[in-house]
Each structure stands twice: as structure tokens, then as C-alpha cells.
Chain A
Amino acid sequence: MARIKTYVRPMQGWWRRNPYYVRYMIREASSVFLAIYTVILLVGLFRLTQGEAAWDAWRAALASPGSIVFHWLALLTVSYHAYTWWKVAPKTAPDLRIAGRPLPELVITAGGWLATLGTSALVYLIVRWM
């Protein structure tokens, strides 16, 4: 059967044409950084099971300039994921009502951002002092 040659609109670089799509792609790209970061943690856990010397070698590797740069990029993109996660929370959360009235979108979003700040402070304090 002959192949029908229909025009297919080229989609190369589609997301660069609109700032909204650029932000969408940054959000989606955060998952690549999150995946790599998680693998780094998994390697750390593996090194931990090998003993103190292996653990310290893992920590030394994390202090290398390339690692620091990667973690800054991961921090920026994953923080953007956290920002957007709460931004869409009013649409993804179940119907929340107080005294029969739907909770304002800003309350849900701001509540989420505060939850992230609160848990971040808690994690920091636990790692540092507990």
C-alpha cells in the first residue's frame, strides 16, 4: 500500500515559542534532576552499607565542584516543582469546604507553601541537632 504523504507540522522546539510552555518544560525537567538526586541517595545508602571509608568517599565525591553545581540546578528545578505543586493544589485537591464554603484557592496554595517551609525547617533542625 502506498504511504500517504500528509503534511505533518514540525514540532521541533515547540515549547520555546511560549513562556508558559517553557515553564511547563522546566517543571517537567525537575523530575530528571529529582531522579538523578534519588540515585545519588541510593548510592549513598549502598556506600553506607560498605563501611565508614566508603561512606566518607561518597561524601567527598559530593563535595566536588561538579556535584555542587548539579545540586544547585536540582535545588532550583525541584523547588520550582514544589512551587507549582501547591499552585495547582486547588485544582488537584479534593473539594475542601469550611462551613459549607469552598476554601479560597489562595488559602490552599499559601497553606502548601507554608507546609513546605515548615517541613524544611523541621528537617533542617532534625539533621542538625537530633
Chain B
Amino acid sequence: MKRSNEPIFWSLFGAGGMLSALVAPILIFITGIIAPIGLWMPGQALAYSRVLGFAQHWLGKLMLMAVISLFLFHAVHRIYHGLHDIGVHAGTAARVAAYGSALLGTLISAYLLIVAGLR
């Protein structure tokens, strides 16, 4: 019997689900709401030099990489399986597009973190 590759994607979905359950609400709240409107978060908290420093630190790189990659793998897994619920009977192409875009996002973030390190 051919071995299923589902456990890989299920694990990535699970890891992303766990990480997003822990930190996604607060990240959305900070970067998308309170920092832009300047409430409970001073403007210099997300100042260029500070965020660049974070992206240049190995721990910051690891955190950004984990957030972007795992959030993407979690989301595309749900979106792919959710297609059936809205009456779209997706095949292999949709599967490749879903996980492929998460992989692409992961590679782009890795590249950008390397570029950020050179600044």
C-alpha cells in the first residue's frame, strides 16, 4: 500500500493551529489594531530600527519564520478541506496549489529574513 503523505500536512496544520491559538489573536490585535491607532501601544514599539533588529536576531528570525510558515500551512489545510463544504470538489491541482502556496510563503519569508540580515 502506498503510504499517505497526509500525516505531514496534518502535523503542519496541527502545529499552526496550536501556535495560532496561542499568539494569533494578540498579534492581530497589536499589529493590526492598537499599534496603527496608537492606543495602548506607543508608535516607537514598531519603529523601523526596532523591528529590523528583531528580524536580524536569530530568535526573532525563528519566531517570524514559525509564525508565517505554520500560520500558512494551518490556513491552507483548512481552506483546502473547506472547499468541499462550499460545494467545490477540489482535486490534486487545488491540493498542490494550497500546500504549494504555503511552501512558497515559507521560502519567501526565509529569503526575506536573509535579506533583512544584510541590511
**Cβ-neighbour of A12 out of B48, B87, B115 (below 8 A):** B87
- In the complex, the number of residue pairs spanning A and B with C-beta atoms less than 8 Å apart equals 153
Q: Mark A70-83, 1 if CB is under 8 A from B, else 0.
A: 11101100110110
Q: Are B68 and A128 in contact (CB under 8 A)?
A: no
**Among A49, A51, A72, residue most surrounded by chain B Cβ atoms (within 10 Å):** A49
B49: min CB distance to chain A, Å: 8
B103: min CB distance to chain A, Å: 13
Q: Are B24 and A37 in contact (CB under 8 A)?
A: yes
In residues 103-129 of chain A, which contact B (Cβ within 8 Å)?
Answer: 112, 115-116, 119-120, 123-124, 127-128
Total interface residues in chain A, CB < 8 Å: 52
In residues 1-47 of chain B, which contact A (Cβ within 8 Å)?
Answer: 14, 17-18, 20-33, 35-37, 41-42, 45-46
Dominant SS at the A interface?
helix
Q: Are A71 and B24 in contact (CB under 8 A)?
A: no
In residues 13-54 of chain A, which contact B (Cβ within 8 Å)?
Answer: 15, 25, 28-32, 34-35, 37-42, 44-46, 48-49, 51-52
Residue numbers of A with Cβ under 8 A of B are: 11-12, 15, 25, 28-32, 34-35, 37-42, 44-46, 48-49, 51-52, 55-56, 59, 62-63, 67-68, 70-72, 74-75, 78-79, 81-82, 85-86, 92, 112, 115-116, 119-120, 123-124, 127-128
